[in-house]
Structure 1
Protein backbone atom coordinates (compact mmCIF):
# COMPACT_ATOMS: atom_id res chain seq x y z
CA UNK A 1 0.00 0.00 0.00
CA UNK A 2 2.79 2.42 0.95
CA UNK A 3 4.59 1.66 -2.33
CA UNK A 4 1.47 2.59 -4.28
CA UNK A 5 1.17 5.90 -2.45
CA UNK A 6 4.85 6.63 -3.07
CA UNK A 7 4.39 5.80 -6.76
CA UNK A 8 1.52 8.28 -7.05
CA UNK A 9 3.61 10.91 -5.26
CA UNK A 10 6.47 10.41 -7.72
CA UNK A 11 4.16 10.87 -10.68
CA UNK A 12 2.30 13.81 -9.17
CA UNK A 13 5.50 15.62 -8.16
CA UNK A 14 6.88 15.43 -11.70
CA UNK A 15 9.98 13.53 -10.64
CA UNK A 16 12.78 14.50 -13.05
CA UNK A 17 14.27 11.01 -13.29
CA UNK A 18 10.91 9.41 -13.98
CA UNK A 19 9.91 11.83 -16.70
CA UNK A 20 13.33 11.76 -18.38
CA UNK A 21 12.82 8.02 -18.78
CA UNK A 22 9.29 8.61 -20.09
CA UNK A 23 10.53 11.14 -22.67
CA UNK A 24 13.19 8.76 -23.97
CA UNK A 25 10.73 5.88 -24.16
CA UNK A 26 8.23 7.94 -26.14
CA UNK A 27 10.92 9.29 -28.47
CA UNK A 28 12.22 5.80 -29.23
CA UNK A 29 8.82 4.12 -29.63
CA UNK A 30 7.23 6.90 -31.70
CA UNK A 31 10.29 7.11 -33.97
CA UNK A 32 10.20 3.35 -34.49
CA UNK A 33 6.48 3.42 -35.31
CA UNK A 34 7.01 6.32 -37.74
CA UNK A 35 9.70 4.39 -39.62
CA UNK A 36 7.55 1.26 -39.67
CA UNK A 37 4.59 3.28 -41.00
CA UNK A 38 6.62 4.80 -43.84
CA UNK A 39 7.74 1.34 -44.96
CA UNK A 40 4.84 -0.85 -43.79
CA UNK A 41 1.83 1.02 -45.18
CA UNK A 42 2.94 1.02 -48.83
CA UNK A 43 4.38 -2.49 -48.48
CA UNK A 44 1.10 -3.86 -47.15
CA UNK A 45 -0.91 -2.01 -49.80
CA UNK A 46 1.26 -3.23 -52.68
CA UNK A 47 1.08 -6.77 -51.35
CA UNK A 48 -2.71 -6.52 -51.21
CA UNK A 49 -3.10 -5.18 -54.75
CA UNK A 50 -0.58 -7.20 -56.73
CA UNK A 51 -0.39 -10.84 -57.73
CA UNK A 52 2.95 -12.55 -58.33
CA UNK A 53 4.58 -15.96 -57.80
CA UNK A 54 5.37 -16.55 -54.15
CA UNK A 55 2.88 -13.97 -52.90
CA UNK A 56 1.11 -16.46 -50.62
CA UNK A 57 4.42 -17.54 -49.11
CA UNK A 58 5.37 -13.92 -48.51
CA UNK A 59 2.05 -13.26 -46.77
CA UNK A 60 2.57 -16.30 -44.55
CA UNK A 61 6.07 -15.12 -43.66
CA UNK A 62 4.85 -11.58 -42.97
CA UNK A 63 2.07 -12.84 -40.73
CA UNK A 64 4.51 -15.14 -38.97
CA UNK A 65 6.87 -12.24 -38.30
CA UNK A 66 4.07 -10.54 -36.34
CA UNK A 67 4.93 -12.96 -33.55
CA UNK A 68 8.69 -12.74 -34.01
CA UNK A 69 10.47 -13.25 -30.64
CA UNK A 70 11.81 -9.83 -29.57
CA UNK A 71 15.08 -11.26 -28.26
CA UNK A 72 15.80 -12.75 -31.69
CA UNK A 73 15.35 -9.32 -33.27
CA UNK A 74 17.56 -7.82 -30.60
CA UNK A 75 20.25 -10.40 -31.24
CA UNK A 76 20.11 -9.82 -35.01
CA UNK A 77 20.43 -6.04 -34.60
CA UNK A 78 23.20 -6.51 -32.04
CA UNK A 79 25.20 -8.64 -34.50
CA UNK A 80 24.65 -6.07 -37.27
CA UNK A 81 25.75 -3.13 -35.12
CA UNK A 82 28.54 -4.76 -33.10
CA UNK A 83 32.13 -3.83 -33.90
CA UNK A 84 32.63 -7.02 -35.89
CA UNK A 85 29.29 -6.63 -37.67
CA UNK A 86 28.69 -5.09 -41.12
CA UNK A 87 27.36 -1.84 -39.63
CA UNK A 88 29.73 -1.67 -36.69
CA UNK A 89 31.55 1.37 -38.05
CA UNK A 90 28.43 3.47 -37.51
CA UNK A 91 28.87 3.20 -33.76
CA UNK A 92 25.14 2.84 -33.10
CA UNK A 93 25.21 -0.04 -30.63
CA UNK A 94 24.06 0.93 -27.12
CA UNK A 95 22.48 4.15 -28.36
CA UNK A 96 18.84 5.24 -28.71
CA UNK A 97 19.24 4.91 -32.49
CA UNK A 98 19.91 1.18 -32.14
CA UNK A 99 16.78 0.87 -30.02
CA UNK A 100 14.74 2.65 -32.68
CA UNK A 101 16.04 0.27 -35.36
CA UNK A 102 15.23 -2.80 -33.27
CA UNK A 103 11.72 -1.60 -32.39
CA UNK A 104 11.02 -0.61 -35.98
CA UNK A 105 11.88 -4.14 -37.13
CA UNK A 106 9.47 -5.52 -34.53
CA UNK A 107 6.65 -3.16 -35.48
CA UNK A 108 7.05 -3.31 -39.27
CA UNK A 109 5.51 -6.79 -39.81
CA UNK A 110 2.50 -5.87 -37.65
CA UNK A 111 1.72 -2.69 -39.57
CA UNK A 112 2.40 -4.25 -42.98
CA UNK A 113 0.29 -7.36 -42.31
CA UNK A 114 -2.68 -5.44 -40.89
CA UNK A 115 -2.46 -2.92 -43.74
CA UNK A 116 -2.49 -5.71 -46.32
CA UNK A 117 -5.66 -7.20 -44.85
CA UNK A 118 -7.40 -3.81 -44.60
CA UNK A 119 -6.50 -2.76 -48.15
CA UNK A 120 -7.37 -6.16 -49.59
CA UNK A 121 -10.86 -5.99 -48.05
CA UNK A 122 -11.36 -2.42 -49.31
CA UNK A 123 -10.11 -3.33 -52.80
CA UNK A 124 -13.02 -5.73 -53.23
CA UNK A 125 -15.36 -2.77 -52.76
CA UNK A 126 -13.42 -0.30 -54.91
CA UNK A 127 -12.11 -2.59 -57.65
CA UNK A 128 -14.76 -1.96 -60.31
CA UNK A 129 -14.86 1.78 -59.76
CA UNK A 130 -11.10 2.32 -59.83
CA UNK A 131 -10.67 0.00 -62.81
CA UNK A 132 -13.37 1.84 -64.75
CA UNK A 133 -11.69 5.16 -63.98
CA UNK A 134 -8.37 3.83 -65.28
CA UNK A 135 -6.52 4.48 -62.03
CA UNK A 136 -2.99 3.06 -62.16
CA UNK A 137 -1.20 1.00 -59.48
CA UNK A 138 0.27 4.02 -57.69
CA UNK A 139 -3.07 5.80 -57.69
CA UNK A 140 -4.80 2.72 -56.33
CA UNK A 141 -2.36 2.44 -53.45
CA UNK A 142 -2.69 6.13 -52.60
CA UNK A 143 -6.49 6.12 -52.88
CA UNK A 144 -7.04 3.03 -50.77
CA UNK A 145 -4.54 4.09 -48.11
CA UNK A 146 -6.27 7.46 -47.83
CA UNK A 147 -9.78 6.05 -47.70
CA UNK A 148 -8.80 3.48 -45.07
CA UNK A 149 -6.75 5.91 -42.98
CA UNK A 150 -9.06 5.73 -39.97
CA UNK A 151 -9.26 1.95 -40.09
CA UNK A 152 -5.46 1.80 -40.23
CA UNK A 153 -5.27 3.57 -36.88
CA UNK A 154 -5.74 0.10 -35.38
CA UNK A 155 -2.55 -1.05 -37.07
CA UNK A 156 -0.65 1.95 -35.75
CA UNK A 157 -1.94 1.34 -32.23
CA UNK A 158 -0.92 -2.30 -32.39
CA UNK A 159 2.53 -1.25 -33.52
CA UNK A 160 2.91 1.35 -30.80
CA UNK A 161 1.72 -1.10 -28.16
CA UNK A 162 4.33 -3.64 -29.29
CA UNK A 163 7.09 -1.02 -29.26
CA UNK A 164 6.17 0.62 -25.96
CA UNK A 165 5.90 -2.69 -24.10
CA UNK A 166 9.19 -4.13 -25.36
CA UNK A 167 11.91 -5.05 -22.87
CA UNK A 168 14.28 -7.71 -24.22
CA UNK A 169 15.12 -6.12 -27.56
CA UNK A 170 15.93 -2.66 -26.25
CA UNK A 171 17.94 -4.10 -23.38
CA UNK A 172 20.13 -6.11 -25.78
CA UNK A 173 20.87 -3.28 -28.22
CA UNK A 174 20.55 -0.34 -25.82
CA UNK A 175 22.36 -1.73 -22.80
CA UNK A 176 19.95 -0.12 -20.30
CA UNK A 177 22.43 2.70 -19.60
CA UNK A 178 21.26 5.07 -16.88
CA UNK A 179 20.34 8.48 -18.29
CA UNK A 180 21.01 7.43 -21.88
CA UNK A 181 19.21 4.29 -23.03
CA UNK A 182 17.05 3.38 -20.04
CA UNK A 183 13.37 3.16 -21.01
CA UNK A 184 10.21 2.69 -18.97
CA UNK A 185 10.04 -1.07 -19.44
CA UNK A 186 13.71 -1.75 -18.78
CA UNK A 187 13.62 0.52 -15.73
CA UNK A 188 10.55 -1.28 -14.38
CA UNK A 189 12.34 -4.62 -14.73
CA UNK A 190 15.55 -3.29 -13.15
CA UNK A 191 13.97 -1.38 -10.27
CA UNK A 192 11.66 -4.27 -9.41
CA UNK A 193 14.66 -6.59 -9.12
CA UNK A 194 16.34 -3.99 -6.87
CA UNK A 195 13.26 -3.63 -4.70
CA UNK A 196 12.65 0.00 -5.68
CA UNK A 197 8.93 -0.55 -6.14
CA UNK A 198 7.72 3.10 -6.01
CA UNK A 199 9.69 4.05 -9.14
CA UNK A 200 8.75 0.82 -10.91
CA UNK A 201 5.07 1.26 -10.06
CA UNK A 202 5.15 4.95 -10.98
CA UNK A 203 6.53 4.16 -14.42
CA UNK A 204 3.97 1.39 -14.78
CA UNK A 205 1.18 3.86 -14.05
CA UNK A 206 2.55 6.33 -16.60
CA UNK A 207 2.95 3.61 -19.24
CA UNK A 208 -0.62 2.38 -18.76
CA UNK A 209 -1.90 5.95 -18.77
CA UNK A 210 -0.10 6.79 -22.02
CA UNK A 211 -1.40 3.69 -23.80
CA UNK A 212 -4.95 4.32 -22.59
CA UNK A 213 -4.76 7.98 -23.64
CA UNK A 214 -3.50 7.15 -27.13
CA UNK A 215 -6.17 4.50 -27.58
CA UNK A 216 -8.88 6.88 -26.37
CA UNK A 217 -7.68 9.57 -28.79
CA UNK A 218 -7.65 7.10 -31.69
CA UNK A 219 -11.13 5.87 -30.79
CA UNK A 220 -12.36 9.46 -30.65
CA UNK A 221 -10.90 10.22 -34.08
CA UNK A 222 -12.56 7.13 -35.53
CA UNK A 223 -15.97 8.03 -34.03
CA UNK A 224 -15.62 11.57 -35.35
CA UNK A 225 -14.82 10.29 -38.85
CA UNK A 226 -17.81 7.93 -38.80
CA UNK A 227 -20.10 10.74 -37.70
CA UNK A 228 -18.85 12.96 -40.52
CA UNK A 229 -19.31 10.16 -43.03
CA UNK A 230 -22.83 9.53 -41.73
Structure 2
Protein backbone atom coordinates (compact mmCIF):
# COMPACT_ATOMS: atom_id res chain seq x y z
CA UNK A 1 0.00 0.00 0.00
CA UNK A 2 2.86 2.37 0.84
CA UNK A 3 4.41 1.70 -2.59
CA UNK A 4 1.19 2.80 -4.29
CA UNK A 5 1.01 5.94 -2.15
CA UNK A 6 4.63 6.69 -2.99
CA UNK A 7 3.91 6.23 -6.71
CA UNK A 8 0.98 8.65 -6.48
CA UNK A 9 3.15 11.19 -4.71
CA UNK A 10 5.91 10.89 -7.29
CA UNK A 11 3.37 11.16 -10.10
CA UNK A 12 2.04 14.44 -8.72
CA UNK A 13 5.61 15.63 -8.32
CA UNK A 14 6.29 14.93 -12.01
CA UNK A 15 3.16 16.84 -13.04
CA UNK A 16 3.66 19.92 -10.86
CA UNK A 17 7.40 19.83 -11.46
CA UNK A 18 6.83 19.90 -15.22
CA UNK A 19 9.08 16.93 -15.83
CA UNK A 20 10.81 17.23 -19.22
CA UNK A 21 10.00 13.69 -20.37
CA UNK A 22 6.39 14.08 -19.29
CA UNK A 23 6.00 17.36 -21.17
CA UNK A 24 7.60 15.83 -24.26
CA UNK A 25 5.17 12.89 -24.30
CA UNK A 26 2.08 15.01 -23.62
CA UNK A 27 3.06 17.58 -26.25
CA UNK A 28 3.61 14.92 -28.89
CA UNK A 29 0.29 13.26 -28.02
CA UNK A 30 -1.57 16.51 -28.48
CA UNK A 31 0.27 17.32 -31.71
CA UNK A 32 -0.47 13.94 -33.27
CA UNK A 33 -4.11 13.80 -32.17
CA UNK A 34 -4.94 17.41 -33.07
CA UNK A 35 -3.35 16.98 -36.50
CA UNK A 36 -5.32 13.78 -37.09
CA UNK A 37 -8.57 15.42 -35.95
CA UNK A 38 -7.99 18.39 -38.28
CA UNK A 39 -7.45 16.08 -41.26
CA UNK A 40 -10.36 13.82 -40.28
CA UNK A 41 -12.63 16.87 -39.98
CA UNK A 42 -11.63 18.19 -43.41
CA UNK A 43 -12.53 14.80 -44.88
CA UNK A 44 -15.29 13.55 -42.62
CA UNK A 45 -17.52 16.59 -42.22
CA UNK A 46 -18.10 17.21 -45.96
CA UNK A 47 -18.33 13.46 -46.60
CA UNK A 48 -20.96 12.95 -43.91
CA UNK A 49 -22.93 15.99 -45.05
CA UNK A 50 -22.81 14.83 -48.67
CA UNK A 51 -24.13 11.40 -47.72
CA UNK A 52 -26.99 13.10 -45.87
CA UNK A 53 -28.02 15.31 -48.81
CA UNK A 54 -27.08 13.59 -52.05
CA UNK A 55 -28.92 10.61 -53.52
CA UNK A 56 -26.83 8.10 -55.45
CA UNK A 57 -26.85 4.37 -56.26
CA UNK A 58 -25.59 2.32 -53.35
CA UNK A 59 -26.14 5.11 -50.84
CA UNK A 60 -27.72 2.83 -48.24
CA UNK A 61 -24.85 0.36 -48.53
CA UNK A 62 -22.37 3.23 -48.22
CA UNK A 63 -24.05 4.40 -45.01
CA UNK A 64 -23.97 0.88 -43.57
CA UNK A 65 -20.29 0.59 -44.49
CA UNK A 66 -19.52 3.98 -42.93
CA UNK A 67 -21.24 3.02 -39.69
CA UNK A 68 -19.43 -0.32 -39.66
CA UNK A 69 -16.07 1.39 -40.10
CA UNK A 70 -16.63 3.22 -36.81
CA UNK A 71 -15.85 -0.06 -35.08
CA UNK A 72 -12.70 -0.99 -37.02
CA UNK A 73 -10.03 -2.46 -34.69
CA UNK A 74 -7.18 0.04 -34.26
CA UNK A 75 -4.57 -2.71 -34.63
CA UNK A 76 -5.99 -3.54 -38.06
CA UNK A 77 -5.70 0.10 -39.13
CA UNK A 78 -2.15 0.12 -37.78
CA UNK A 79 -1.30 -3.03 -39.72
CA UNK A 80 -2.65 -1.61 -42.99
CA UNK A 81 -0.74 1.66 -42.56
CA UNK A 82 2.39 -0.28 -41.61
CA UNK A 83 2.18 -2.37 -44.80
CA UNK A 84 1.61 0.74 -46.91
CA UNK A 85 4.53 2.65 -45.38
CA UNK A 86 7.01 -0.20 -45.01
CA UNK A 87 10.02 -0.32 -47.31
CA UNK A 88 8.34 -2.90 -49.54
CA UNK A 89 5.01 -1.04 -49.48
CA UNK A 90 3.72 1.38 -52.13
CA UNK A 91 4.44 4.41 -49.94
CA UNK A 92 7.70 3.18 -48.43
CA UNK A 93 9.68 5.72 -50.47
CA UNK A 94 8.23 8.48 -48.26
CA UNK A 95 10.11 7.16 -45.23
CA UNK A 96 7.25 7.88 -42.85
CA UNK A 97 7.21 4.63 -40.90
CA UNK A 98 8.09 5.08 -37.20
CA UNK A 99 7.56 8.84 -37.40
CA UNK A 100 4.78 11.08 -36.03
CA UNK A 101 3.56 11.40 -39.63
CA UNK A 102 2.70 7.70 -39.75
CA UNK A 103 0.87 8.03 -36.45
CA UNK A 104 -1.16 10.95 -37.77
CA UNK A 105 -2.12 8.92 -40.87
CA UNK A 106 -3.22 5.96 -38.75
CA UNK A 107 -5.29 8.09 -36.39
CA UNK A 108 -6.85 9.97 -39.31
CA UNK A 109 -7.99 6.71 -40.89
CA UNK A 110 -9.32 5.56 -37.54
CA UNK A 111 -11.40 8.62 -36.63
CA UNK A 112 -12.57 9.84 -40.04
CA UNK A 113 -15.46 7.30 -40.12
CA UNK A 114 -16.51 8.43 -36.64
CA UNK A 115 -16.58 12.11 -37.62
CA UNK A 116 -18.30 11.37 -40.95
CA UNK A 117 -20.99 9.12 -39.45
CA UNK A 118 -21.86 11.59 -36.69
CA UNK A 119 -21.83 14.48 -39.17
CA UNK A 120 -24.18 12.59 -41.50
CA UNK A 121 -26.73 12.11 -38.73
CA UNK A 122 -26.50 15.74 -37.55
CA UNK A 123 -26.82 17.18 -41.07
CA UNK A 124 -29.57 14.70 -41.94
CA UNK A 125 -31.71 15.82 -39.01
CA UNK A 126 -31.25 19.46 -40.01
CA UNK A 127 -31.90 18.66 -43.67
CA UNK A 128 -35.24 17.04 -42.80
CA UNK A 129 -36.20 20.26 -41.02
CA UNK A 130 -34.99 22.67 -43.74
CA UNK A 131 -35.70 20.62 -46.87
CA UNK A 132 -38.95 22.28 -47.95
CA UNK A 133 -37.59 25.75 -47.32
CA UNK A 134 -34.38 25.07 -49.23
CA UNK A 135 -36.24 23.52 -52.15
CA UNK A 136 -38.68 26.44 -52.32
CA UNK A 137 -35.70 28.79 -52.61
CA UNK A 138 -34.34 26.72 -55.49
CA UNK A 139 -31.16 25.79 -53.69
CA UNK A 140 -28.95 23.28 -55.46
CA UNK A 141 -27.47 20.32 -53.57
CA UNK A 142 -24.06 22.02 -53.30
CA UNK A 143 -25.70 25.16 -51.90
CA UNK A 144 -27.74 23.05 -49.49
CA UNK A 145 -24.56 21.34 -48.37
CA UNK A 146 -22.81 24.61 -47.54
CA UNK A 147 -25.87 26.00 -45.78
CA UNK A 148 -26.44 22.89 -43.68
CA UNK A 149 -22.77 22.62 -42.70
CA UNK A 150 -22.73 26.24 -41.61
CA UNK A 151 -26.02 26.13 -39.71
CA UNK A 152 -25.05 22.92 -37.90
CA UNK A 153 -21.49 24.03 -37.14
CA UNK A 154 -22.08 24.07 -33.39
CA UNK A 155 -23.55 20.57 -33.34
CA UNK A 156 -20.80 19.33 -35.63
CA UNK A 157 -18.25 20.32 -33.01
CA UNK A 158 -19.51 17.38 -30.93
CA UNK A 159 -18.48 15.06 -33.77
CA UNK A 160 -15.05 16.66 -33.86
CA UNK A 161 -14.70 16.37 -30.09
CA UNK A 162 -15.70 12.70 -30.25
CA UNK A 163 -12.98 12.14 -32.82
CA UNK A 164 -10.41 13.91 -30.66
CA UNK A 165 -11.34 11.85 -27.62
CA UNK A 166 -11.00 8.65 -29.63
CA UNK A 167 -7.63 9.73 -31.01
CA UNK A 168 -6.19 10.59 -27.59
CA UNK A 169 -7.21 7.21 -26.16
CA UNK A 170 -5.87 5.13 -29.06
CA UNK A 171 -2.88 2.85 -28.47
CA UNK A 172 -2.80 -0.09 -30.91
CA UNK A 173 -2.41 1.68 -34.24
CA UNK A 174 0.09 4.29 -33.10
CA UNK A 175 2.19 1.62 -31.38
CA UNK A 176 2.44 -0.41 -34.61
CA UNK A 177 3.32 2.48 -36.94
CA UNK A 178 5.17 4.66 -34.44
CA UNK A 179 7.24 2.10 -32.59
CA UNK A 180 6.99 3.91 -29.23
CA UNK A 181 10.44 5.47 -29.65
CA UNK A 182 11.52 7.73 -26.78
CA UNK A 183 11.61 11.44 -27.65
CA UNK A 184 10.44 10.60 -31.19
CA UNK A 185 7.13 8.74 -31.37
CA UNK A 186 6.18 7.99 -27.77
CA UNK A 187 2.71 9.24 -26.83
CA UNK A 188 0.70 9.02 -23.62
CA UNK A 189 -1.12 5.74 -24.24
CA UNK A 190 1.93 3.83 -25.46
CA UNK A 191 4.09 5.33 -22.71
CA UNK A 192 1.59 4.26 -20.03
CA UNK A 193 1.66 0.68 -21.34
CA UNK A 194 5.47 0.63 -21.47
CA UNK A 195 6.13 2.28 -18.12
CA UNK A 196 3.59 0.05 -16.36
CA UNK A 197 5.33 -3.03 -17.79
CA UNK A 198 8.68 -1.64 -16.60
CA UNK A 199 7.30 -0.95 -13.13
CA UNK A 200 7.74 2.82 -13.44
CA UNK A 201 4.35 3.54 -11.94
CA UNK A 202 5.07 7.20 -11.18
CA UNK A 203 5.40 8.25 -14.83
CA UNK A 204 2.57 5.93 -15.88
CA UNK A 205 0.26 7.44 -13.24
CA UNK A 206 1.27 11.00 -14.12
CA UNK A 207 0.43 10.37 -17.78
CA UNK A 208 -2.77 8.61 -16.75
CA UNK A 209 -3.88 11.59 -14.66
CA UNK A 210 -3.28 13.96 -17.56
CA UNK A 211 -5.08 11.66 -19.99
CA UNK A 212 -8.10 11.47 -17.70
CA UNK A 213 -8.14 15.26 -17.29
CA UNK A 214 -8.06 15.68 -21.08
CA UNK A 215 -10.90 13.14 -21.45
CA UNK A 216 -12.96 14.96 -18.84
CA UNK A 217 -12.28 18.27 -20.56
CA UNK A 218 -13.35 16.89 -23.93
CA UNK A 219 -16.56 15.48 -22.47
CA UNK A 220 -17.29 18.72 -20.65
CA UNK A 221 -16.84 20.79 -23.82
CA UNK A 222 -18.98 18.31 -25.80
CA UNK A 223 -21.73 18.52 -23.16
CA UNK A 224 -21.66 22.31 -23.19
CA UNK A 225 -21.84 22.34 -26.99
CA UNK A 226 -24.65 19.80 -26.98
CA UNK A 227 -26.59 21.83 -24.41
CA UNK A 228 -26.10 25.00 -26.45
CA UNK A 229 -27.29 23.19 -29.56
CA UNK A 230 -30.46 21.96 -27.89
CA UNK A 231 -31.12 25.43 -26.45
CA UNK A 232 -30.91 26.92 -29.94
CA UNK A 233 -33.06 24.17 -31.39
CA UNK A 234 -30.43 23.03 -33.91
- The TM tier, using the shorter chain, reads over 0.9
SS of 1:83 mapped into structure 2? coil
Aligned partner of 1:93 among 80, 97, 104: 97
Alpha-carbon distance in structure 2 between the residues aligned to 1:193 and 1:121: 47
Aligned partner of 1:132 among 125, 128, 136: 136
Q: Does 1:152 align with 2:156?
A: yes
Aligned partner of 1:208 among 200, 203, 212: 212
1:43 maps to: 47
Q: How many residues align?
A: 230
2:177 maps to: 173
Give matches, 1:182-193, under 5 Å: 182-193=186-197
Alpha-carbon distance in structure 1 between the residues aligned to 2:123 and 2:29: 31
Give matches, 1:69-84, under 5 Å: 69-84=73-88
Alpha-carbon distance in structure 2 between the residues aligned to 1:12 and 1:27: 21
Q: Which runs of 5+ in 1 are unaligned?
A: none
Q: Does 1:22 align with 2:26?
A: yes
Q: Does 1:107 align with 2:134?
A: no
Alpha-carbon distance in structure 1 between the residues aligned to 2:66 and 2:128: 21
Q: CA deviation at 1:215?
A: 2.9
Q: Which runs of 5+ in 2 are unaligned?
A: none
Q: CA deviation at 1:174?
A: 0.4
SS of 2:155 mapped into structure 1? coil
Cα distance, 1:172–1:59 mapped onto 2, change above 3 Å: same
Q: CA deviation at 1:209?
A: 0.8
TM-score by length of 1: 0.95
Root-mean-square deviation (CA, aligned residues, Å) is: 1.6
Q: Does 1:116 align with 2:120?
A: yes
Alpha-carbon distance in structure 2 between the residues aligned to 1:217 and 1:178: 31
Q: Does 1:54 align with 2:58?
A: yes
TM-score by length of 2: 0.94
Between stretches 14-23 and 207-216, larger displacement belongs to: 207-216
Work out whether residues 32 and 100 of structure 2, in 8 Å CA contact, stay in contact via their aligned partners in 1. Answer: yes
Alpha-carbon distance in structure 2 between the residues aligned to 1:228 and 1:51: 29
Alpha-carbon distance in structure 2 between the residues aligned to 1:132 and 1:113: 28
